């Protein structure tokens, strides 16, 4: 059987950078589950279907075909949306769509099916609690909201996105709250997760720690 490592945590805690770097070091495949929720949000946003119209969302998702190529690029009905899902517009609405049971149920099996033929690091909000409850190692990254907002804001500035720090901070806090308070698979550490606070650590230090934990 192949090894599965899960990394969960709130926005900006370092999940994707850490998961990517550890995967590269150890030759594991890397699953960014947030990208799939983002793709659904972008699709529904473009169709103009609001998050409170569950009936229409359920109907509309029947016409949505999601394809993840080599766990690298994400396609919706043949269109590459890998970059488009990273916009502040998607940031703003993704948690509202992700809170809906019709959306989550649709994505569970899709995510589980990605665990096929390689060791895997899966990163998101419910990887250790719901999607891969039998994972070999579960990590939960956290950091204070301000630190996480600074990280995300820097990243957006580097990409040339025009947004104020206050807006980024507000978005992160809002998203955390929605993710933590939804009914189905809320954001929380699995009972058997190792919790790591990354507020005072560099990316390298976190990557080293996680690599050590996997090797043990």
Interface positions with ligand ADP (CB under 6 A): 9, 11-17, 151-152, 155, 198, 201-203, 206
Q: Which stretch binds ligand CDP (CB under 6 A): 31-39, 53-61, 134-142, 160-168?
A: 31-39
- State the binding partner of 121 from ligand CDP, ligand ADP, none, CB within 5 to 8 A by kind: none
- State the binding partner of 94 from ligand CDP, ligand ADP, none, CB within 5 to 8 A by kind: ligand CDP
Beta strands in 50-94 (DSSP E): 66-69, 73-76, 79-80
Query: Contact at 8 Å (CB) between 123 and 7?
Result: yes
Instruction: Kindly report the three-state secondary structure assignment for every residue of 147-193.
Output: HHHHHHHHHHHHCCCCCCHHHHHHHHHHHHHHHHHCCCCCCCCCCCC
Q: Which stretch binds ligand CDP (CB under 6 A): 23-31, 56-64, 119-127, 132-140?
A: 119-127
Q: Distance (Å, rounded) from C-alpha 115 to C-alpha 28? A: 11
Compute the least distance from the CB of residue 105 to ligand ADP, in Å.
Answer: 24
Q: Which stretch binds ligand CDP (CB under 6 A): 65-73, 118-126, 188-196, 206-214?
A: 118-126
Q: Distance (Å, rounded) from C-alpha 95 to C-alpha 181? A: 11
Residue 127 token pair: 């990887």
User: How many other CB atoms sit within 10 Å of the CB of residue 143?
Assistant: 23
- State the binding partner of 202 from ligand ADP, ligand CDP, none, CB within 5 to 8 A by kind: ligand ADP
Beta strands in the chain (DSSP E): 4-8, 29-32, 66-69, 73-76, 79-80, 120-124, 137-142, 194-197
Nearer to ligand CDP, 141 or 215 (CB): 141
Nearer to ligand CDP, 11 or 81 (CB): 11
Compute the least distance from the CB of residue 86 to ligand ADP, in Å.
Answer: 10
**Chain residues in the site for ligand CDP (CB under 6 A):** 11, 16, 33-34, 37-38, 94-95, 98, 124-127, 175, 179
């Amino acid at each position: 059987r192949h090894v599965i490592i899960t990394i969960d945590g709130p926005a900006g805690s370092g999940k994707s950078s850490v998961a990517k770097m550890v995967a590269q070091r150890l030759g594991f495949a890397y699953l960014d589950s947030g990208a799939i929720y983002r793709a659904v949000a972008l699709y529904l946003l473009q169709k103009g279907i609001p998050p409170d119209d569950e009936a229409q969302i359920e109907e509309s998702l029947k016409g949505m075909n999601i394809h993840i190529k080599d766990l690298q690029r994400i396609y919706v009905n043949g269109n590459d949306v890998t970059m488009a899902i990273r916009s502040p517009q998607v940031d703003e609405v993704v948690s509202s769509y992700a809170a809906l049971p019709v959306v989550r149920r649709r994505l569970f099996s899709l995510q589980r099916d990605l665990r096929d033929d390689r060791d895997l690091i899966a990163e998101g909000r419910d990887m250790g609690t719901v999607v891969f409850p039998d994972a070999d190692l579960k990590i939960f990254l956290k950091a204070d909201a301000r630190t996480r907002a600074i990280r995300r804001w820097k990243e957006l500035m580097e990409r040339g996105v025009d947004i104020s720090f206050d807006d980024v901070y507000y978005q992160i806090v809002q998203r955390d709250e929605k993710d933590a308070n939804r009914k189905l698979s809320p954001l929380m550490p699995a009972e058997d997760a190792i919790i790591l606070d990354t507020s005072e650590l560099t990316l390298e230090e976190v990557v080293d720690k996680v690599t050590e934990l996997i090797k043990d």
